[in-house]
Structure 1
């Protein structure tokens, strides 16, 4: 995948986007049952020529250690949205968990509190065997674990915290990216999460979960390259199409997002890698980004706090 991708037989490599493994961001693609992965290393030049149709990338089945290819090679909509066909959605383990279709699977889960910016405190759950991967995938700027237990117990704890108004279960990608420009300092993030965990523990008194009062707060702002905030101006890729080229030099990935520096001091481009998922990719060395729909994003102006004269 990318300029150094192997060249498969006819049919090409189909992107499965960006995922995190052992704390590393990996760009991945599949060709039948073959998988190719590369670390999304900052400073790496990439270039991809997209070819359609855009196809379903399969599903995570119960007990599987990797994604199972779509048996139907189904075509999906080219402009984002769902990245799976209805048949794969119906058997995908992750979607079943999100939709409360799995009541208990015997695994231990952890309840987390994640901070995405001022006013964006999220509560969620992740299986203990996945470690911190869920938080990295979501692009959490800072987070802490609050409790652990069985899936039913942790899910009830999640609902209790969300119902209290302390934290929400979901935020849109747009809400998260808008906070990248201003995220305060590490001490503030740590205080917000520590206080929120204490409040959550009071709410969970009597629940059948093990509380984790001493769990540290982990900060990802530097890891994501956001210590100085997002670029003052960048273009967000809103849509891809057959024949498009996506190219640039990687900045540190942020959750599932890639920031790509462009040549000649042009503004960087932000790509939600879910848009890339399902397209057939071939290397495009030396090509410039083309054939994509881009929306300009600008750092919000600081509020004018000076008192008006009249």
Structure 2
């Protein structure tokens, strides 16, 4: 009987994207690697718990949920989240950054200095520039100052980020143009906390990290035909990995290049399968926008 695997999410390391599995195993993802799995037939998607603890109810969760948590576990998870502004005494230094996801789509945010660019890769930032570094509360105040003064948000729905990939400019200079303008405006503002050390403008571009010309829907890359809406018991998907952005895998399947948000994988029991099948629900875009290592 084949081993059932449970995914705990996509992680970004210095070497690229890695799928993590419950139990501590990891599968490194490289371009051209075949990613294929089937959802256990008759299985039910269950809550993944919170803060490293299993859900006491093993509650069922909807197939379209990207959080894969029941209401109570979701509340507990956000109760200990820097992103939710519920922690004020974190002693670590933080970076304030501007991130660009596509034309007209820039956000301001913060991330722990020790995490390097990981947070930006997880968010699917096409390029970014740091603005400064300092204590958490100083970084928070700077984030709020810039959000109000520059008219940029601190959150962007992921579906919006995904939608603009089809119109990415082809050069790094073009992709960074909005960042350069906003950074120049930001450093002239008054009201920066004294404990936050400014940093010079330096754009970091992630297109090559995400797959270069294989970035589905991006400049010169293969157009995507749709995205997986949800996984279902008994359904399977498989194909060659042509790009990865944030939590998304872009797979060349029998139906064309399909985007799989790996957050949809969590909570399911998964089995290895062969071929380039794609018999899970797919939301079509209006325009064609070896040795087993882990499960694969």
Q: Structure 1: how far apart are the matches of 2:15 and 2:202?
A: 17
TM-score by length of 1: 0.82
Task: Report what 2:17 is aligned to.
Answer: 25
TM-score by length of 2: 0.86
One of 93, 97, 100 as aligned partner of 1:115 = 100
Q: Secondary structure at the match of 2:7?
A: strand
Task: Report what 2:229 is aligned to.
Answer: 238
Task: Report what 2:129 is aligned to.
Answer: 144
Contact 1:198 1:213 in 2 (8 A): no
Distance 1:127 1:93, change over 3 A: farther
Please report the RMSD computed on the Cα atoms of aligned residues, expressed in angstroms.
Answer: 2.3
Q: Secondary structure at the match of 2:266?
A: coil
1:40 correspondence with 2:26:
no
Task: Report what 1:212 is aligned to.
Answer: 198
Unaligned 5+ segments in structure 2 are 214-218, 290-296
1:13 correspondence with 2:5:
yes
**Structure 1 outlier segments of 4+, above 6 Å:** none
Q: Structure 2: how far apart are the matches of 1:41 and 1:108?
A: 32
One of 167, 184, 187 as aligned partner of 1:182 = 167
Larger radius of gyration between Structure 1 and Structure 2: 1
After TM superposition, give the deviation of residue 229 of structure 1 in Å.
4.8
Distance 1:26 1:233, change over 3 A: closer
1:255 correspondence with 2:246:
yes
After TM superposition, give the deviation of residue 104 of structure 1 in Å.
2.3
After TM superposition, give the deviation of residue 182 of structure 1 in Å.
1.8
Q: Structure 2: how far apart are the matches of 1:136 and 1:104?
A: 26
Distance 1:94 1:37, change over 3 A: farther
Which sits farther off after the overlay, 212-221 or 144-153? 212-221
Unaligned 5+ segments in structure 1 are 1-5, 61-66, 301-310
Aligned residues: 281
Q: Secondary structure at the match of 2:264?
A: coil
